Amino acid sequence: MREAGGPVIPNYAAHSSSCVVHNHAFCWGWVDENWGSVLWPALRQHVLLVAAAVAIGFAIAFALALAAHRYRRIERPTIFVTTLLYTIPSLALFELLVAPVGANVISAEIALVSYTLLILFRNILTGLRSVPAEVLDSAEGMGMSRRQALWRVELPLALPAIIAGLRIAVVTIIALATIVYTIYDAGLGVPIHTALGEGPFKTELIAAGALAIALALLADGLLVLAQRALTPWARAR
């Protein structure tokens, strides 16, 4: 993170274009020159932060949802705790984790994971519960064990709701990960912060902000495609 009080214009080499010097709305030249050194590393870190958080969050939420599907009384306390975590504003949660865990990637991931849990848990459970009882009866009639019915009937039918949850979680975490820079020097928040400290430097602000939004839209689109590929029966209807 760049210290406050540093140079007024960022990456302000002798050959800066007049566009950058005059801080025009958007300077393609700057983006071109600083893609490899500023924007791409931030984007890559952002993707890694989000991917790790969603993967871990999904594993936890999936286990909890399966448990709540079997034992109903797990649902209420889980909803209560995950709602609590979801409600705490991101900036505050990051700082609250710094005291016990430290200003590092682990704090960042704990916070990001905690924001995925409510969304994923609710959607996975809703999906599992939406499987009609007759379908489960026929699975049983075909001689499937409970475990077989879960993996071969209930989960495939719950897939659309699960992926809908993943879409919301991924998009939310991509937006929230821009705040990670306050405790750990990574992600698209880093160039946004640099740009804010310098004027603000518009090109860098817009480029980093647009990358975060584009990443969210791209991830959302990929998940829609994944859902289509994974649920071929839904298209036939």
Partner 1 sequence: MHEFVEAFKFILHNGAIAGEPELPSLAHLALETLKVGAIGVAVSALIAVPVGVWLGHIHRGSFAAINLGNVGRALPSLAVLAIGDAFLGLGLSVVELALVILAVPPIITNTYLGVDGVDGEVVDAACGMGMGATEIIARVELPLALPLIFAGIRTASVFVISTATIASLAGFSGTLGDPIANETSYHFYGVLGAAICVAALALAVEGALTLAQHALTPRGLRLERQTQADPASGAVAHAATLSTQ
Residues that bind partner 1 (CB under 8 A): 4, 25, 75-76, 79, 83-84, 86-96, 98-100, 118-119, 122-123, 126-127, 130, 160-161, 164-165, 167-168, 171-172, 174-176, 178-179, 182, 188-189, 192-193, 195-196, 200, 202, 205-206, 208-209, 212-213, 216-217, 220, 234
In the bound state with partner 1, the residue whose beta carbon lies nearer, of 60 and 196, is: 196
In the bound state with partner 1, the residue whose beta carbon lies nearer, of 39 and 216, is: 216
Long-range contacts of 191-199 (CB under 8 A, 24+ apart): 191/38, 191/39, 191/42, 193/1, 193/2, 194/2, 194/10, 194/38, 195/10, 197/2, 197/4, 197/6, 198/6, 198/7, 198/8, 198/9, 198/10, 199/8, 199/9, 199/23
In the bound state with partner 1, the residue whose beta carbon lies nearer, of 4 and 229, is: 4
Q: Give min distance, CB of 141 to partner 1, in A.
A: 26
Q: Give min distance, CB of 216 to partner 1, in A.
A: 4
Q: Give min distance, CB of 109 to partner 1, in A.
A: 18
Q: Give min distance, CB of 122 to partner 1, in A.
A: 5
User: Which residues have CB under 8 Å from 25's CB, separation 6+?
Assistant: 202, 203, 206
In the bound state with partner 1, the residue whose beta carbon lies nearer, of 150 and 195, is: 195
C-alpha span between 101 and 25 (Å, rounded): 40
C-alpha span between 14 and 215 (Å, rounded): 32
Task: Return the structure tokens found at 105.
Answer: 């990637």
In the bound state with partner 1, the residue whose beta carbon lies nearer, of 140 and 209, is: 209
Q: Give min distance, CB of 143 to partner 1, in A.
A: 29
